[in-house]
Structure 1
Amino acid sequence: MLDDVRVLAWGASHAVRLCATLIERAGARISVAEAASPDDFAHDVIIVSSDVCTAAQRSAIAELKAAGKYIVCDITAMGPQASRAGTAWSDAQVQAISGLMDTTGFANGEPVRIGVPFAEISAALYASAAIAAALRVKRLRGIVQNIDVTLFGCAASALTTFLPAAFAGAAAGRVGNRHPACAPWNAYRTRDGWILICTSTEEQWRKIRRVAGVPRLDAPRFATLRDRVRNVDELDRLIETWTATLNTDECSALCERIGVAAGPIVTVKGLSAEPNFRMRHADAARQIDAGGIDRETYGHVSVFGVSRLADNAHAMSRTTVDSDALAPHVGPLTGIKVVEIGQYTTAPLVGKHLAALGAQVVKIEPPDGEVARSWTPGQAGTSYFFALNNTDKQTISLDLKQEADRAYLRTLLADADVLVENLRPGALAKLGFGREALGEINPRLIYCSISGFGIRSAYPARPAFDTVIQAMSGLMDLTRSNGEPVKLGASGADILGGQAALFAIVANLAGPSRQAGTFVEISMQDVAAWCALFASGNPAPAGVVVLCIDGHVWLDSDERLSADALVECATRARCASLTRTSAVAALADAGVRAVPIARVHELIADSDFLADVLSVARDAKGTFWPVLRVPYRLSATPARICNVPGEPRSPMVSAACVSLT
């Protein structure tokens, strides 16, 4: 992968440290310096955070960027051009001003800070992928470029389930452990605790309704997904009359048997006893049992696994490079061909970024199209959610239960560089596309499988959605509202899992010519647990949320002011009778820095969101769509978001336009 690449992590921010950890996992050699001059090291890449360093270091970083000798990746809160640039912002403050904090918490409660440094972790993952892309460009074209990554852009980009309402002119509120577009989807009481149950299709709803055996669930007011979302309060009460008759293990086992995603809430300390975590990370589990969780425990958990694709694959390298891939300013992955078999968030997120980086991405959808296409709101028969996650792809519909369509997929895969999918483990193998078969079809293929619990799993038959993984990885344990665990408002486990997959794929593409196919395995639970363990071993100051007449503001606690002292300051400033803007000013006069907690719909008028995050694309009919830029900027070979795909075409209609040959 990135063997023999020399990287300097220069700075003390979490994002720099985590980015270095990820790149080291891909084979790079890492040097770490918090204060030394970068000239003290030999390196290819320098990772910095220029907004949290001294003036002298900022000057040195500017000189390094101008020299064009190294790939310099600068991870900052707001980016060099933002209206808020030049100020150090904590992860919690970025969560507040990006709208991310306001989406987390219960509908009748206050906003909640996510219990892991989500913006910094997300920035580290995206920065790692961007660095790998820049290394590929350097190897193929000899171009050395700089990279800017913003925490604000990473946080706002995670709002794909909430921004659609803002695009439609509505205000999206907090939903607690619910999903804004699916029901039933919540935490339900059992006889001995809580269970997360998540459904997204009519088939899953019918299964839950059948096993629950609650007659009132057959009422017409629950007949459609839209009806269930509209009547979700009553629906959840009825579901809980069933779950309350079972213990958590019984309910989990029953849901697993019928193919519905479900699972218990696990504490971070309890990860060592969680069956799947212990099976996949026995060393980390033993260390937690023996000495608890410290600042380095997370390093014993890998966010991706890499192995040979197939034992029967013949060694084969690609000896030619597409001439377009050598052009000076095209995307880093121009000439790369990708097949995506994905739905919802994880694999589609990977495909979106690979396409933005220049790859040709063909998305395979079922005959009726991906379910998320029909979610509301949207336009022209397609949801905003689907558009946000699937820009710049070619889409075709295949029924992989039919041999003719499987044969068409084999043709696509024969000339592909990458296959990425987030189906249930074993689903592709049952269709004739297991690792050995893929190795025969294409000996040099990079095959990336993303699943909730991994291929080698204690739960081989258990489906998993984002909320279940958040529950079973420690994320919800660290994110609490008045002591009660609550999921991240954003689909955190899905997004982080997709980002880990993106990095692993691009890192493989950045290395020298491959001699054999590669299998990349992503377990979303692994990635989420990695984040939870890092946060638990590297705790952030508590901080407080303060109520104002038009919303809330966030105050970071520090060694000078504890959370209790901040509450007292807010009370003296009479924040409850002030607007957020006035409260921030009043607290500043008292020597306390506060930031407003933005609502998602307010981002549409935020200058930094408009400049750094929001963009516009068009579909084949000329309709304009609001879309999101990628939160990393490569100075010489930028990623681009241009198009929203239309309805998927059948292979007979679109053979010419989707051929990967």
Structure 2
Amino acid sequence: MLNDVRILASGEREAVELSATILTQAGAQIASSKSVTMDDFAHDVVIVSSDTCTAAQKSVIARLKASGDTIVCDITAMGQQRAGENTAYADAEIQAMSGLMDTTGFSHGGPVRIGVPFTEISAALYASAAIAAALRVRRIGGLNQNIDVSLFGCAVGALTTFLPAALAGDPVGRIGNRHPSCAPWNAYKTRDGWIVVCTSTEDQWRKIKGAASEPDLEDARFSTLSERVRHVEELDALLEKWTSTMTTAESSSLCERLGIPAGPIVSVEGLAHEPNFALRHENAAARMRAGAIDSETYRHVSLFRESPLSDGARAAASARDDLNLDAGPLAGVKVIEIGQYTTAPLVGKHLAALGADVVKVEAPEGELSRTWSPGQRGTSYFFALNNTDKRTVSLDLKKEDDRAYLRTLLADADVLVENLRPGALVKLGFDRHALSHINPRLTYCSISGFGVRTAYPARPAFDTVIQAMSGLMDLTRSDGEPVKIGASAADILGGQAALLAIVARLAAPSSDEGKFIEIAMQDVAAWSALFAAGNRRSARATESEVARLQTLIKDVAFRDDALSTAIDPNGHAWPVLKLPYRFSRTAASVRRVPGAPERPMLPGTAQLSSI
């Protein structure tokens, strides 16, 4: 990927160290220094955090940026979000200021500080992806530029689950381990611990109701999803009455047999014995079993895995190396996205913002989240926030004509990214060998909860399950009780890791060999938890009050910092999120909200209309 790229990391922020670690996994050569000098243009990239520097160091960084001799990535608390603001706010302060802390915790308790430095980790992942994009520009166009990344922008960007209600003027409250629209969905006590159980369909509800054999669950209060959500307190009490009769292992195995997303709340130390983590990260698990978690443990966990797309790959034309500075660092790149909700859509959204042509494939009825409330003109704010700047097409992949059209889309694509359940594309005839036959130079990125090589081939997963099984929930507690990060942290971190891996592949010299990139959300979440557990820093005392999101959304300064306006095909305006990173020389922006998915004329000869 980034082999032979020379990077200097110098700065007090955790995001600087984490960026260096991430880019090392992508093949870069990393050097660390306590300070930077004007001689550091010998490096391809310099990563700094200017808001934590002395005045003398700030001056050197400013001169290095102005020189144009190297790529300079500056990770700060506020970036360019707030003009003139150069306070070196810590992660906890950003959590409090942005509304992120307000969304974590139980409805009956106060806001809870996230147990990992989420904004530093998020900034490191976005910075790494932005650096890879800048390296692509440098390779193709010979142009160096500066990158600014803000922790504040990363925090607000993680609030897509809660912003819709705030934008609509509805109450925004903490929901603990529940889901605002689905039930049962919570953490339940067992005989020896906790289990997270998540249901999203009526079929899953019927299965868990049948397994529990609790007569009261047949009550009319639980007959429909809306009624279950309305009576969730009574429902959860009945479910916990059942789960408390079993051990965590027994209830997890039962739910896996039923096809219900579920899993235990695993401690960070317990990751060493967690079957999937131990299978995928044998060295890290062995180190943990041999001794305590230390500052180096997280480095032994891989964020992504890359391999040839197919063992029998054929020769192919070289990848396109087009670059239009006005169109973005990824101008000329074509991406096919098959995903829903958060993870793959987040990847596609950022690839599109970076200039790629992203075609989103939706089911005939459209992605389910389009219809969520609140929204406007038949489309949810949630969908709009997560799918900006994409073209959308409706395909029924159970039909051969539609699969044939997908093959035409893939034939000249650079990237395929999806977050379907492992094996779903294979059943449709799109295994790695078939994809290699369609397009030998394709980069195919698969995102799933537990990965392709997994101890749980039949276990479905949602964000809450992954937070439970990665140590994130263990580190985030309210009065001693484990609670999920309010934002969909595992989904977001998994998407960010996929974004980095894809852009790093695109930054590499053109290749005629296709690649398969595997992302397991549990890997990325566990990497984050292990970093936090092994690198505990004393928390700086803070006097910033925890801001309420529903108050922030009415604040003009906050809206100017965090939001911008995008237009849909009918000319209607939508509030959308600003990017947490900015380039000094190439465009990267959020411009448009997609309309309804287009149904192409089949067989696949029709062209999709441009945005």
Asked if structure 2 preserves the Cα contact closer than 8 Å seen for 1:312 and 1:440, the reply is no
Q: Give distance in 2, aligned partners of 1:425 and 1:170.
A: 37
In structure 1, what is the equivalent of residue 568 of structure 2?
Answer: 619
TM-score for the superposition, normalised by structure 2: 0.96
In structure 1, what is the equivalent of residue 32 of structure 2?
Answer: 32
Q: In angstroms, what is the RMSD of aligned CA positions?
A: 1.8
Q: Which of 332, 337, 340 matches 1:340?
A: 337
In structure 1, what is the equivalent of residue 409 of structure 2?
Answer: 412
Asked if structure 2 preserves the Cα contact closer than 8 Å seen for 1:134 and 1:332, the reply is yes
TM-score for the superposition, normalised by structure 1: 0.89
Q: Deviations over 1:282-308 (max 9, x none)?
A: 100111111211111100001000111
1:605 and 2:602 equivalent?
Answer: no
1:502 and 2:502 equivalent?
Answer: no
Listed as ranges, the gaps of 5+ residues in structure 2 are none
Q: Which of 385, 390, 396 matches 1:388?
A: 385
In structure 2, what is the equivalent of residue 563 of structure 1?
Answer: none
In structure 1, what is the equivalent of residue 516 of structure 2?
Answer: 519
Q: Deviations over 1:375-433 (max 9, x none)?
A: 21112222111111111111122221221211111111111110001111111111111
Provide closer, same or farther for how the CA distance between residues 41 and 300 of structure 1 changes in structure 2, counting only shifts above 3 A.
farther
| Alpha-carbon shift at residue 204 of structure 1 (Å) | 2.8
Q: Deviations over 1:525-581 (max 9, x none)?
A: 000000000000111335xxxxxxxxxxxxx34xxxxxxxxxxxxxxxxxxxxxxxx
Q: Give distance in 2, aligned partners of 1:227 and 1:164.
A: 22
Q: Give distance in 1, aligned partners of 2:388 and 2:214.
A: 42
Comparing 232-241 with 107-116, greater Cα deviation is found at 232-241
In structure 1, what is the equivalent of residue 247 of structure 2?
Answer: 247
Comparing 326-335 with 2-11, greater Cα deviation is found at 326-335
Asked if structure 1 preserves the Cα contact closer than 8 Å seen for 2:319 and 2:414, the reply is no
Number of residue pairs matched by the alignment: 609
Comparing 172-181 with 33-42, greater Cα deviation is found at 33-42
Q: Deviations over 1:500-542 (max 9, x none)?
A: 0000000000010012000000010000000000000111335
Comparing 483-492 with 403-412, greater Cα deviation is found at 403-412
Provide closer, same or farther for how the CA distance between residues 501 and 608 of structure 1 changes in structure 2, counting only shifts above 3 A.
farther
User: Match of 2:512, SS?
Assistant: coil
User: Match of 2:553, SS?
Assistant: helix
Asked if structure 1 preserves the Cα contact closer than 8 Å seen for 2:150 and 2:580, the reply is yes
Q: Give distance in 2, aligned partners of 1:658 and 1:317.
A: 24
Q: Which of 427, 439, 444 matches 1:447?
A: 444
| Alpha-carbon shift at residue 232 of structure 1 (Å) | 1.9
Comparing 638-647 with 413-422, greater Cα deviation is found at 638-647
1:376 and 2:373 equivalent?
Answer: yes
Provide closer, same or farther for how the CA distance between residues 505 and 187 of structure 1 changes in structure 2, counting only shifts above 3 A.
same
In structure 2, what is the equivalent of residue 646 of structure 1?
Answer: 595
Percent same amino acid among aligned pairs? 67
Asked if structure 2 preserves the Cα contact closer than 8 Å seen for 1:201 and 1:371, the reply is no
Asked if structure 1 preserves the Cα contact closer than 8 Å seen for 2:36 and 2:61, the reply is no
Matches within 5 A, 1:45-56: 45-56=45-56
User: Match of 2:559, SS?
Assistant: helix
Matches within 5 A, 1:450-469: 450-469=447-466
The one-letter code matched in structure 2 to 1:636 is R
Q: Give distance in 2, aligned partners of 1:223 and 1:70.
A: 62
| Alpha-carbon shift at residue 655 of structure 1 (Å) | 5.9
Provide closer, same or farther for how the CA distance between residues 221 and 621 of structure 1 changes in structure 2, counting only shifts above 3 A.
farther
Comparing 251-260 with 523-532, greater Cα deviation is found at 251-260
Provide closer, same or farther for how the CA distance between residues 254 and 651 of structure 1 changes in structure 2, counting only shifts above 3 A.
farther
| Alpha-carbon shift at residue 209 of structure 1 (Å) | 3.1
Q: Give distance in 2, aligned partners of 1:415 and 1:404.
A: 18
| Alpha-carbon shift at residue 133 of structure 1 (Å) | 0.7
Provide closer, same or farther for how the CA distance between residues 644 and 319 of structure 1 changes in structure 2, counting only shifts above 3 A.
closer
In structure 1, what is the equivalent of residue 238 of structure 2?
Answer: 238
In structure 2, what is the equivalent of residue 423 of structure 1?
Answer: 420
| Alpha-carbon shift at residue 38 of structure 1 (Å) | 5.4
Q: Give distance in 2, aligned partners of 1:201 and 1:84.
A: 49
Q: Give distance in 2, aligned partners of 1:81 and 1:175.
A: 29
1:658 and 2:608 equivalent?
Answer: yes
| Alpha-carbon shift at residue 242 of structure 1 (Å) | 2.8
1:164 and 2:170 equivalent?
Answer: no
Listed as ranges, the gaps of 5+ residues in structure 1 are 543-555, 558-592
Q: Which of 488, 494, 498 matches 1:491?
A: 488
| Alpha-carbon shift at residue 236 of structure 1 (Å) | 1.7
Q: Give distance in 1, aligned partners of 2:88 and 2:589.
A: 28
Asked if structure 1 preserves the Cα contact closer than 8 Å seen for 2:347 and 2:496, the reply is yes
Comparing 45-54 with 138-147, greater Cα deviation is found at 138-147
